[in-house]
Amino acid sequence: MSAKRLSALLLTALMAASAAVSCGEDSPSEPVSNAVSSSDEAASGASSAETAASGEITYPVEGNPTVTYWCRLTSNASASVASMNDLPFTAELEERTGIDVEFIHPAQGTDKESFNLLVASGDLPDIVYYSWFNGYPGGPEAAFKNRVIEPINEHMAEWAPAYTAYLAENPEVAKMVQTDEGNYPGFPFIRGEEILWISWGPFVRADWLEQIGMEKPTTIDGWYEMLTAFKNECGATAPLTTWDKDFGIFNSGFLVGAWGMATDMYLNDDGEVVYGPAQPGFKDFLAEMQKWYAEGLIDPNFYANDRSAAETNLMNGFSGAIAASPGQGLGVFEKSLKEIDPSAGYTPLQWPTLNEGERPQFGQKDTYFNNFGLAAVTASSENKEAAYALLDYAYTEEGHMLYNFGTEGVSYTMEDGEPLYTEMITNPGEGMSMSQMLAQYTMPQDDFPFVQDGRYFMQYMQLDVQKEAIQLWQETDAEKHWLPPITPTEEESKEYGTIKTNLDAWRNEWCVGAVTGKNSIDEYETVFLPELESIGLERALEIQNAALERYNNR
């Protein structure tokens, strides 16, 4: 698959570039010399194969230990089982590692509250999988201080050789999953490849483009022309719609990115954190959007929309363009629209730029680790070594295949060196979906501590238009501009939280009014900016830049 090769290449290049970056003084002390690093294996995050094979941990481990494990029940698994204890995946994991796992799940949708209660009770299981970086007040360092969990630094080389090796080979990832003080809180969920980082992008009606005889537009002017034609020739009353209310239509730098900024905090070209709405050029963007809105190119209710409003607009042909996710957005809309009119359909567009031929600077792009979750071993655990061994297995080659593809011969087979899901997974019987089958044998659809494999993703996407979209949407330099997972200190994070809420509220209040024409663009300097300043923009940036500096020094 060319997509895979391309991303592997990109990743290799990326790693070569980052090889120069030091891991910092607290990096794993034991360099893993025998790790093999072919580009393919590195790309899939399984490069520590040799380490595991060299027998530092021999699975199954002896003594048949039992480990208790708190994590949320993934939504796809819950369709068929009440607990992960009942999954074939868990049975296989237990057999291979020789460790009995006892999963404890909070009720779905109550993760945060349940986590707080769990921690407050002081009665902790061996492993807790949670967003430790932003979910615990003060982050992992506070959790260490309060004796909730322990950094794994001391024992990781010995008890978690595969993960240690993985970090040694991926210094960029290692930087993300440690604290400013150089401590590793645990075992993270990592999206191993760039194609896994894409979850948002613009798409438009393909049949309408054909009808108006336009190529796919790439620039703002092209978009303007297209939306105007949608309105005049295709009968659209809200040509560009959205499912996010307030200013969400411009999320991820959609449209605004052409002017060289996002609507939120981002890194500028000098590597400083700045706030988009206060940047030069933002005013021009607002003026252009005011024009579009006045001409009826933007959904008149964009600031009050929700998913169902967007659905109504799209399915009735009131709208022909939106930026949304590839699954619940593009996938669902494409399939539904085809049921209404088989000749209709969507096509993804690249992130628009100001000038023809420019590479988009903004767009949605995630990274290896984005605070999704991290499995930490609790300070009170009496089975630490077994807990490490269980978690470390995910980063071995066998573990990597188990987590991503399941059991060979059951849920996947190897064809020409490529793992392919079996018929049982891809085409399950009545009433079951591929997601639900995957969730029984594998883990890649949900965040869980392992390295997600891009080869899963392309097989998982059911529609060609989705695959096309992912390829197109990743063509940006967004990674240069998005903030890395930086962590303000505990005190700062409260202060920052309040300022940021007020900044965003004011941005939504004033800027939406500017787009709808309620506020005059001329008041950008006289009303909008001074208010941002008085809310505390400067202080917010100071906190963010200090956190960024600590991050860069890791």
Partner 1 sequence: MKDSAAVSNKKRKTYQQLSYWGKVGRDIATNPVLYLMFLPVVLYYILFCYKPMYGALISFMDYVPGIPFWENEWIGFDNFVRFFNDRNFFRLFKNTLVISFSSIIFGFPAPIILALLLNELKSRTYSRVVQTISYMPHFISIVVICGLIRDFTMNTGVITQFLGIFGFPQVTMLGEPSYFVPLYVISGIWQEIGYGSIIYLAALTNVDQELYEAARIDGANKWKQTIHITFPSITPTIMTMLIMRLGNIMSIGYEKIMLLYNSQIYETSDVISTYVYRVGLLDMDFGYSTAIGLFNSVINLLILLLANKLSYKLTDTGLW
Partner 2 sequence: MSKNRIKISIGERIFDVFNVVFLFALMVVCLYPMLYVLFASLSNGVQLMRHIGLLLRPAGFSLSAYEAVARNEMIPTGYVNTIFIVAVGTTVNIFMSALGAYFLARRDQTIGKAAMIFIVITMFFSGGMIPGYLNVRSLGLYNSIWALIFPVALNTFNMIILKTAFMGIPSSLEESAKLDGAGHLTVLFRIFLPLSKATIAVLVLYYGVSHWNSWFNAFMYIQDRALYPLQLVLREILIVNDTNSMLNVSVDVEQIADTIKYAVVIVATVPILVLYPFLQKYFVKGVMIGAVKG
Instruction: Name residues contacting partner 2, limited to 193-222 (CB under 8 A).
Output: 199-200
> What is d(CA 8, CA 12) in angstroms, rounded to the nearest whole number?
6
Stretch that binds partner 2, among 208-216, 253-261, 275-283, 328-336 (CB under 8 A): 328-336
Q: Decide if residue 380 touches partner 2 (CB under 8 A).
A: no
CB within 8 Å of 185: residues ≥ 6 apart? 132, 133, 140, 143, 144, 149, 151, 152, 177, 178, 179, 374, 376
Binding mask 397-436 for partner 2 (x = CB under 8 A): ----------------------------------x-xxxx
> What is d(CA 240, CA 127) in angstroms, rounded to the nearest whole number?
46
404: number of Cβ within 10 Å: 26
Q: Which does 435 bind (CB under 5 to 8 A by kind): partner 2, partner 1, none?
A: partner 2
Among 180, 446, 453, 504, binds partner 2 (CB under 8 A): 446
Beta-strand pair 418-421/187-188: unpaired
Closer to partner 2 by Cβ: residue 286 or 438:
438
Q: How far is CA 193 from CA 30, 35, 51, 320, 369, in A?
A: 26, 19, 21, 31, 11
- The answer to whether 70 touches 118, Cβ cutoff 8 Å, is yes
Closer to partner 1 by Cβ: residue 181 or 306:
306
Least distance (Å) between residue 147 CB and partner 1: 8
> What is d(CA 319, CA 199) in angstroms, rounded to the nearest whole number?
21
Total chain residues near partner 2 (CB under 8 A) = 52
Question: Nearest to residue 325, comparing CAs of 355, 297, 295, 346?
Answer: 346
Closer to partner 1 by Cβ: residue 354 or 379:
379
Q: Decide if residue 16 touches partner 2 (CB under 8 A).
A: no
Q: Decide if residue 78 touches partner 2 (CB under 8 A).
A: yes
In this structure, which long-range contacts are made by residues 27-30, counting pairs with CB atoms below 8 Å and at least 24 apart in sequence?
27/167, 27/168, 27/171, 27/174, 27/182, 28/153, 28/156, 28/157, 28/164, 28/167, 28/168, 28/174, 29/157, 30/157, 30/164
Among 114, 170, 319, 544, binds partner 2 (CB under 8 A): 114
Least distance (Å) between residue 308 CB and partner 1: 7
Strand (E) or helix (H) holding 16: helix 2-18
Least distance (Å) between residue 235 CB and partner 2: 15
Footprint on this chain of partner 1 (rule: CB under 8 A): 112-113, 116-117, 119-120, 122, 135-138, 142-143, 146-148, 245-247, 300-301, 303-304, 306, 308-309, 494, 497-498, 501-502, 505, 508-509, 512-513, 516, 518, 534-535
- The answer to whether 492 touches 549, Cβ cutoff 8 Å, is no
Least distance (Å) between residue 300 CB and partner 1: 7
Binding-site ranges for partner 2 (CB under 8 A): 75-76, 78-79, 82-83, 104-110, 113-114, 116-117, 120-121, 199-200, 307-308, 311-312, 315-316, 325-328, 331-332, 335-336, 339-340, 366, 431, 433-436, 445-447, 457, 460-463, 466
